[in-house]
Amino acid sequence: MTNSPIVDDLVRASAVMGDMIDRIAGDQWTAATPCTEWSVRDVVSHLVGVNLAFVAMFEEGPMPDLTADCLGADPAGAYRRSTAALLVAAVLPRALERSSSSWVGVASGAVRLQWRIADLIVHGWDLAQPTGVAATWPDDLVEQALAFARAHLPDQSRAGRFADPQPIRDDAPALDRLAAFTGRPVPWTP
C-alpha cells in the first residue's frame, strides 16, 4: 500500500490485468477482440505502450515509440515490467499533482491514473471476450471507473478514442455497463 488511494487502486487493477495476461493461451494471441482493429496481442501491446507513455509523462522524459513492438516474445513479462515502471513513476514527487498535455488533452497525474484504471478494466473486458479468461475485478474499482467515464467522456463525438455508447440494461453488471458506455456491444460476438 502507498500513501495514495489512486495508486493503491492502480496496483489492484494492474494485478488483475497481469493475472489475466498470464492466463492467455498461446493460440489466443491472434484472436479478434471487441476493439475492432486489434487482436489480443494488440490490446496487450496497447496496455504496455500506455504504461510506458505514463512513465514518460511522470518522469518528464521522452515519449516511447508506441508503434514499436513492445511485447517481444514475452507479452506477460513486458506487461509486468511496464506496470512496475509505472508504479515507481506514479509515486515520484508531484507526479500526481503535476498536469501535462497529451493528445487527449491536459490533465493531472491523478486524473490520468483514473483513466488508466478505467482503461485496464475496459480492456480486461475486451480480452475476456475472445479468450474466455475471466477476471475478478474489485466491484469498487468497476463502479468508480464507470462513474469516472460517465463524468469525463463527452456526449458529443468521441474523436476516435471510443465508439458511441451502446444500449444496455440499467440492471446489467457494472462491468458490462462500462463496456457498453465505452462503445462495446454487449454481448460481443466476433
Read off the pLDDT of residues 75-128 as tens digits, 9 standing for 90 and up: 999 999 999 999 999 999 999 999 877 666 788 999 999 999 999 999 999 999
pLDDT of residue 160: 63
Q: What average pLDDT values come out for the chain (190 residues) when binned by 10 residues?
A: 87 98 97 94 96 94 89 97 97 91 78 95 98 95 96 67 87 97 93
Which residue spans within 73-164 are E strands per DSSP? 99-102, 105-108
* Superfamily of domain 5-143 in the CATH hierarchy: dinb family like domain (1.20.120.450)
Q: Coil, strand or helix: which one is 82?
A: helix
pLDDT of residue 152: 85
Cβ(166)–Cβ(34) below 8 Å: no
| Residue of 124, 148, 127, 128 lying closest to 138 (CA atoms) | 124
